Amino acid sequence: MSKKDSSIGFAIGILAGVVGGIAAGILLAPKSGEESRRELKDAYEDLMQKYSPEITQAKKQAMEMIKSSKEKIEDTYKKFNENLKAQKLAHAKNCEIDVYEI
C-alpha cells in the first residue's frame, strides 16, 4: 500500500471515528427520542458544513482508486485470458503435430 493510500485510509478512519463517537454520545444520552434525533441531525449538519471539502476530496480519491483498481483487474483478466487461449492453441498445435507424425 502506498503512503498516499494509507493516509487516505487513516483520514477516513479518523472521520468514521468522529462520526461514530458523536452518534454514540447522542444516542446513549438520557434524552427524549425527538431531542436526540434533533441533536444528531444538528451534529451531522455541522459536521458536513465543517468538513464538506475534505469529504468531497476523500470521495473523489476513493472513486479514483476504485476506477484504477477496476482497470488493473480488467487488464489482468484480459492478459490471463489471452495467455490461456495461447496455451490452449499451443497445446492443440502440439496434439495436431503428434497426430500427423504417427
The pTM (predicted TM-score) of the whole model is 0.45
The answer to whether 22 touches 43, Cβ cutoff 8 Å, is: yes
* Distance from C-alpha of 27 to C-alpha of 43, rounded to nearest angstrom: 12
How does pLDDT run across 49-100, given as a tens digit for each residue?
Answer: 887 787 788 888 888 888 989 999 999 999 999 999 999 998 888 887 766 6
Alpha-carbon span 50 to 57, nearest angstrom: 13
DSSP 53-95: HHHHHHHHHHHHHHHHHHHHHHHHHHHHHHHHHHHHHHHHHHH
What was the pLDDT predicted at 5? 64
